[in-house]
Amino acid sequence: MFVSPPEFQTENELTFPWKMIYKERLRLGTIELFRKLQSEGIETWIYTTSFRTEKYIRHLFGHYGIKVGQIINGSRHKKEVQAGKKEPMPSKYPAKYRIDLHIDDDPSVMQNGKVYGFKVFLVGPPDDKWGDKILQEAMRIKCIMNK
């Protein structure tokens, strides 16, 4: 969801003073996607390898009008997933949290999903239909889960 202009189109910059605190930009379509998912009763979480605090992430999304469920950042992942294991765990492990669909832009996370048994939807380079594709996949999984 966090992207860098000019590579990607982004949601409008936050207004002053918030743009001074929250410098990250959200990929264009993020607000609409979250609203559609939530209107379908789909809980949305943020899972990031960054060490931004949960409060920071929650407030950043909140300033865009997006309410998120749980937030798993690098600190929480290290504490709950790696949790002192000697063998390295994958950088993200959504199965630990019973997340039905993980969206990511990193092909290595998709590969880890195949190895560790969690579903990853890969979002690549700029694509005007990325939100529609995610929504379609989320609805497909919702239908399967409701059977």
Whole-Å CA distances, 107 to 27, 48, 69, 127, 144: 18, 15, 25, 16, 25
pLDDT in tens, 103-135: 999 999 999 999 999 999 999 887 889 999 999
Q: What is the mean pLDDT of the chain?
A: 94
Across 133-142, average pLDDT:
96
Answer yes or no: are the C-beta atoms of 113 and 95 closer than 8 Å: no
Task: Quote the Cα angle for 119-6-1, to 5°.
Answer: 25
Return d(Cα 147, Cα 140) in angstroms, integer.
11
- Does any domain span residue 6? no
pLDDT in tens, 70-81: 999 999 999 999
CATH number of the CATH domain containing 136: 3.40.50.1000
pLDDT of residue 91: 95
> How many domains are there within the chain?
1
- Does any domain span residue 88? yes
- Its pTM stands at 0.91
